[in-house]
Amino acid sequence: MSNEPTPPPPRPGHRLLRTAGAAATGLAAATAALGTGAMAAYATGAPSTPVIAVGSAAIDLTPTPLKEYAVRTFGARDKAVLLDGIHLTMALLAVLAGLLAARRPLAGAAALGAFGGLGAWAALSRPGAHAADCAPSAAAGVVGAAALLLLARSWRRTSPTLPGPQPEPEQEGALPGPAPAVTSRRTVLAATAATFTAGALAGIGGRILTDRRLDVTAARDAVRLPAPAVPPAPPPPSVHPDIPGLSPFTTANGDFYRVDTALTLPRIDPRDWALRIHGLVDRPQLITFDQLLREPLEELDHTLSCVSNEVGGPYVGTTRWLGASLPTLLRRAGVRSGADQLVGRSQDGMTIGTPLESVLDGRRALLAVAMNGEALPPAHGFPCRSVVPGLYGYTSATKWLVDLEVTTFAAFDPYWVQRGWDRTGTVRTASRIDVPAPFAKVRAGNVDIAGTAWATHRGIAAVEVRIDQGPWRQAELAFDASPDLWRQWSYRWADAPPGAHRIEVRATDATGAVQPERRATPFPAGATGWHSTVVTVT
């Protein structure tokens, strides 16, 4: 039996160094994996990037209440928060994989490679996915696992007292074998840093190359918008009370709300775009962008709102849309008897279902190509989207539209209906106080109260204001430009006394229906309730 002494346990400083080194190998390998995925996505498109693929799948699988919480809490930043969360989660998993690999290299590498498998599954789960879409995640998994395996084994060779199985003591009389190779810590640290740096540069480079490849700025700038067949007059100044702080009547493109599920904006060159109209029609159509621009284009002033908007919320805006008549194109295709749903599909696979009767009942539904005098911004559907007055966006506004199918409600449930939302999406009557701002301090005396109200495609007939549960008072309505537009209002609060006060508002639509008091959440058919605000008069 060998009389060699047992190796002494590692000192605390060495143990801490090895732990930090193991965590660093995990982070470096994960960075290399993500960089590889980003570079590979140059060939297959940004949506196939591992993090984007996993994030998109997470959106689809997230329960509706949690989605509503994210929109309510983070607003337009909800997607950035999701991506940050995925990166943070992967960093934690990478650290754990690195620590595992310090003892069991193969197990740690397999754990990191599993993320690549998750990304591949997520990419293939997207509507319209192709086999090649899983390639970036598969490549990321292989590179990440290999990098972690190599780095972990290098770290294990830096000291004979690393955790894990130790060499068996030599048997008495046995021939001495070669001593195990030892790698300097400096060399392994350099390799870990180099792996991390290469992965980070590959990730940045892949993103830049992909963005350049898919950049449609020049193509969008080259679009020459025809004049509308009958140019409408601009809204008169009387649509907007001259009260500081009141929302503009027309919403600038840069301020228009965006609520959708796209983690990366679809980028479509209009020269490659075509719209397919098919399903329950006699004459299927395939329309190019140039053909669409040659249609008699119409301009429509319209207030669009999101079903996720809370009472008094910001997800509503008014713009002037330019586009071709959707009813005209559908009648040209020949809608068959029995059809009752129009399903729009976007380039990223989103499906939006619109009641067909709401398109063909005389309202001015459009296939829009421009908003506020310029080609659609990429965030709002360039090169083409649908607009149907009277409905929330989730049943009417398909961005990045590439396909229209005439079908039935019985035959197909679109994306949001599958998740429990109402299939009609009729806009509820809503009103909002813009001035004074919540918890504002105002001077005693005459105080201006103002805001907006909308009941799209029905119109607003009256707005009332009350203070501290007192009697309802009629607000002064601005000019009514169209039932498809919001209507702004104002009220002069005379002799406002000092103290804290609660202001409430309610609207009546043009059918005579008063906005209900009872509060309801946006799910499943839109929020209801009176908006209120608290101010302090000094």
Interval 139-148: pLDDT, tens = 999 999 999 9
Q: Choose among 410, 406, 401, 409: nearest CA to 334.
A: 406
CA 139 – CA 41 distance, rounded (Å): 10
Which pairs from 311-314 meet CB under 8 Å and 24+ separation? Answer: 311/430, 311/519, 311/527, 311/528, 311/529, 311/530, 311/531, 312/432, 312/433, 312/531, 312/532, 312/533, 313/432, 313/527, 314/75, 314/257
User: Residue 172: what pLDDT?
Assistant: 44
**By C-alpha distance, which of 402, 151, 159 is closest to 286?**
402
pLDDT of residue 2: 45
Give the position of tokens 């740096």. 197
| pLDDT at res. 10 | 55
Per-residue pLDDT band for 223 (boundaries 50, 70, 90) equals very high
Task: Check if the beta carbon of residue 268 is closer than 8 Å to that of residue 382.
Answer: yes
In this prediction the pTM is 0.85
- Are 529 and 516 within 8 A, CB to CB? yes
What pLDDT score does 7 carry?
47
Residue 520 has pLDDT above 90, yes or no: yes
**Which pLDDT does position 186 carry in this prediction?**
84
pLDDT at 166 over 80: no
What would the mean pLDDT of 284-311 be, rounded to a whole number?
97
What is the arithmetic mean of pLDDT over 530-536? 97
Lowest mean pLDDT among 19-23, 152-156, 169-173, 426-430: 169-173
Q: What is the per-residue pLDDT for 75?
A: 77
Percent share of the chain, pLDDT over 70? 93
Whole-angstrom Cα distance, residue 82 to residue 536? 37
pLDDT tens digit sequence for 321-369: 999 999 999 999 999 999 999 999 999 999 999 999 999 999 999 999 9
Q: Are 439 and 536 in contact (CB under 8 A)?
A: yes
Query: Does residue 9 carry a pLDDT above 60?
Result: no
- 183 pLDDT band, cuts 50/70/90, is low
pLDDT at 393: 97
Q: What is the DSSP string of 162-199?
A: -SSPPPPPPPTTPPP-PPPP---HHHHHHHHHHHHHHH
pLDDT over 60 at 68, yes or no: yes
The first and second tokens of residue 305, run together, are 């709102």
How far apart (Å, rounded) are the C-alpha atoms in residues 434 and 514?
20
- The pLDDT score that the predictor gives to residue 13 is 60
Mean pLDDT value of segment 423-428: 96
